[in-house]
Structure 1
Amino acid sequence: MSGQCRVRWAIVASPRGGGITTEVEEKEVATLKDCEAAGSKCHAQADCLQVRNNFTCECRMGYQGNGLLCNDIDECLSGLHRCHSKARCNNNLGSYSCVCINGYVGDGTNCQDINECQKDNGGCHAGCQNLPGSYRCSCQSGFQSNGKSCVDIDECASNTCSLYADCVNTLGSYRCTCNSGFDGNGLTCADLNECNGINECDPSATCINRLGSYECSCLGGFLGDGRLCEDIDECATPNICPSITNCVNTGGSYYCNCGRGYTFNNSKCNDNDECLEDPCSPYANCTNSPGSYSCQCAAGYRGDGFTCVDVDECSLAKQCHSNALCRNVPGSYNCTCQVGYSGEGVIQCIDINECLLDNGGCRNKASCVNNQGSFYCLCQPGYILVNRTLCQDINECEPNNPCGVNEKCKNIDGSYKCPCQVGYYRPASNMDCVDMDECKDNSCHVNATCLNTIGSFTCTCKRGFAGNGTQCEDINECSVEAGFQR
């Protein structure tokens, strides 16, 4: 059996006791005739193998069986294939093949997504969106896709607008316009109340708002279609007013005129009390009369009754006392006695003696002096009035000294004095101050000499004495310290 292949087979077994045992068995490929000679007719998809001295049939790869009968293994169903998750497994006799599904590219064992949008935008009319294994064409707002192209959406077909609006489809959009008589954005339309704004109703008509429109109706006393109303002349109707009156037509009505000052009521003419309407000036009195009235200005005013002007009595002849003030007020005047007088102001204004009460308020060396309509405070000699009621002592020593030579001015309450200065005396009350000879009093020490000076004196210790003149001590000329020698 030279030229035959030798095959080494390794049989791995796990014994019951544990562990792993390996049995290596050599197989050689024999011819089918060898197996037939051994009594085994192999299947067409089987090979004849020699194991030691025996011949056996064994199914080829991709088949399973006992060698005498071999069936194809469907790797796709059994999961024995190596196809990619994005590939389709095709079973073949004794084998299989892998083909990437649509939208993917590769050898079947490795498949990658195809980005269809990279080539010609995927054939899309607008936007292209790549998806795993596929792609999607997207359209702009107002358009919809038919697969490749984008076509306009007719939004008006879905009745997007308000019930009271017209819808106009446009390319990629639409437009809603409220109908006449409505107001809004088209999506929402509210009834427009024409009666609140501009309308075609006649001024003598009533405007009635309707949904989306309005109506005009002439007022009572007018005739027409509401947009044009004409006054009805009621006076054209015979005997509409009594014979004692005149019929007067007015816009939309009429009245029976009795004449000025009267009103027609209950088939007769009644006098009007014009005073009830206050036709006169506020400063006048109204008097009603049959068919008329009159206005007369009240006291203190002058005019025609419809216009009344205040009379300034103070500018006329003398109204008040000579010591009184006149003050005009609306319709009258007031007289008031001036300050310092009392009375009713018209006939009498008597001077008030302010000094009778608490000396008029005068204080500190002051007496009260009454005047006509006033008073004043008079200070005693040596005092001056510093305000209206208070007296203050005058300092006669300032600024000009009234005293004589060798005198000192001394202010006292209400006056002043001029005593002699120190070192001077006054021989008599009416004489000037003269120098005082202090040496007469011999204020010096017995061993001192007194020398009188103007207004003063000095004491000087005699020779052989030392001191201030009021105290003199003998000098010891024999002392060495005195500068003498024996």
Structure 2
Amino acid sequence: MYRYRNGPLISDTDECSSDTLNACDQLCNNTDGGYTCDCFRGYTISTDGRTCTDVDECINGSEKCHEQATCTNVVGSFTCSCNAGYNGTGTNCEDIDECENGNSPCDGNATCTNNAGSYTCTCNDGYTGTGRTCAGKQSTYCRNTHGQADCHEQASCRNTEGNYVCTCSAGFTGNGTHCEENSVCMNTEGSFTCRCKPGYIGSSCVDVRECEEDIDNCDDNADCTNTPGSFSCTCLPGYFGNGTVCTEVDECSTNNGGCEQRCTNNIGGFNCSCDSGYELNSDGLTCDEIDECSSNNGGCEQRCTNNIGGFNCSCDAGYDLNGDGLTCDEVDECSSNNGGCEQRCTNSIGSFNCSCNAGYELNNDGLTCDDINECIQGQICEQPHNCENTRGSYICGCDFGYNVDSNGLDCNGNNQDYFYNSQYTNECDQPDSCHTHAECTNNIGSYSCSCNTGYRGHGTVCNNVDECDELLDSCLPGLGICIDNPGSYSCACRDGYVGDGVTCEDIDECLTDNDKCSDDCFNTEGSYTCRCKDGYRLAVDGFNCNDIDECAEKIDNCEQVCTNTEGGFNCSCASGFTNVRDSCQGNKNECSSDTMNACDQLCNNTDGGYMCGCYRGFMIGTDDRTCTDVDECAKNELNDCDPNALCDNNQGGYTCSCRQGYTGNGTFCTDEDECTEGKHTCTENSVCMNTEGSFNCPCKSGYIGSSCVDVRECEEDIDDCDDNANCTNTPGSFSCVCHSGYVGNGTVCTGEK
């Protein structure tokens, strides 16, 4: 930015870049050739355009306090605080229900009624007072023997707060309004005696406490209740009878206890359970079939079929199920009867293919092969009329006087003057006339070659016959293995069999100790299978046996506690129960003594055992016994500390304390006005301005820096004194005095006339 002054181009000075270049109280906005002043929020600019004065938001209506809150103006801002009887931030206030939060100020014998922003206390009937304090009215029922009280004439009356109590006199029994003598008068010669009625004892005929003294005849499974002069017996839940004899109710004997499948009777009740392959529904009675195939395909490698109470694994076509009942192995169809193929069988994943040897073609049935007659499929031999078809091949011959060429197809030489040649030649004596695996036969004027047994060809060329491929062997079908050799073959037996291959017998691996079974071995044709004793299950390797945990799989028949053992399980009674004739009976209160339970804090007795609990502020550990402190400060929803408070966890609870700059009880914190309460650290050359949770100290006009030091306007040449005036620095300002011979206010000086 530039501006002209008296002609020359001069760059603009940013007066806002230094507090010494502007006189703004708070904010400075640089302009072209000058600056303007502005104020922080909560202040307004004064008429001098420099200083800022506080805005009273509470008066001008710009505050946003709740209708049930009080607005308090502070320097540069305002605060909202909920009125008495309300709680909140000030911008939002809700009525405090003094009667519901457990801190009711009313007397214990008074009724608390919540009102908007307040409450009322009213003493209950029979009491009098302000409601905050209530005292019982002394009743007058007992003032007259036959007044308002309806006590028996053999009973005493005692006034209580707002009521009265009647008590039968000694020797009488009843509820006070009705009293009967506990003795019978018997006349004697010249006198009388008093004999206590049954159920009473002593000179005053007091009631015998049969239940407490354990002289009742109630059944062990019955509750004894003392009555005046007697007692009563009531069978416990799960038992029936007259109280002196109580018989356990076998809920399972009627309609199976309502259970859909299994019902187990126990002391005072029963439990429903389900067969293997089923699970108990939330009603505790019915069972739903478990679809084992819906989870991880039931463990099956290929196909899983769910059925009632279980499931089965099966395999795709071309696969066999292994002994583990889960995994599948690919079937080598070629290993059995050559897959039905006449010649060659090639196994593939899940299937197989048949093919034929050279010189044969596969029929439409995909199994059998027919010989190809090469001699009728065009001119193969040089002399077609001398072509001889063989199984799987052909042989080319030549007319008399010609020899078959080494390629087995062409004819060499001619028969000219053959019969007149007096020289006889034995071609068999000549090397390389016939193939190495052929026999040479000399003829008049010629010779012939024939392949040895086990070879096929026209004699000059002989190829090994694969008896195994062409099924020309005598190996035992299905069990024997054919091994091709040059000019021959040999037979051997498959694994699991013994013999020469022409005859094979099954090897009983179980008798020869060649099996790998850890338990029982069962021989099968060509192999064997392993089985386990009761209480064990065959492992996935098909050889070893693993113990069945009947307790974990819930296939035991224990009434209470099941303990797994190797190959079986044991049943026992839970703590507090005793085995009586293979039934668990009795209950012990483990919570009555610290030596009988392992609870860290609270103990709750249950039927046949106990459960541990914790005090408020603690939670039960994974061992269900020890209690650990809950860190309420770890999550905001676990404590009611104000957002401007610190949460300090302690054993079984927590404390809230307002952060620095806030005041309150920790659950409710408001901003502390350090400026009005004199808790700030601002210097005398600065102004204290309260902020949320803290305060600021902006310098007063004429002061600058973090310590608000005086601006040296004269020294820094930022005064507005006239050139013909002296500038004198003062605290926070400066003064201008015209030189001698000049007059004016110092900022403007003119020469004296």
TM-score (norm 2): 0.24
Structure of higher RCO (CA pairs closer than 8 Å, 6+ residues apart): 2
TM-score (norm 1): 0.36
- When Rg is computed on C-alpha atoms for both structures, the one with the higher figure is 1
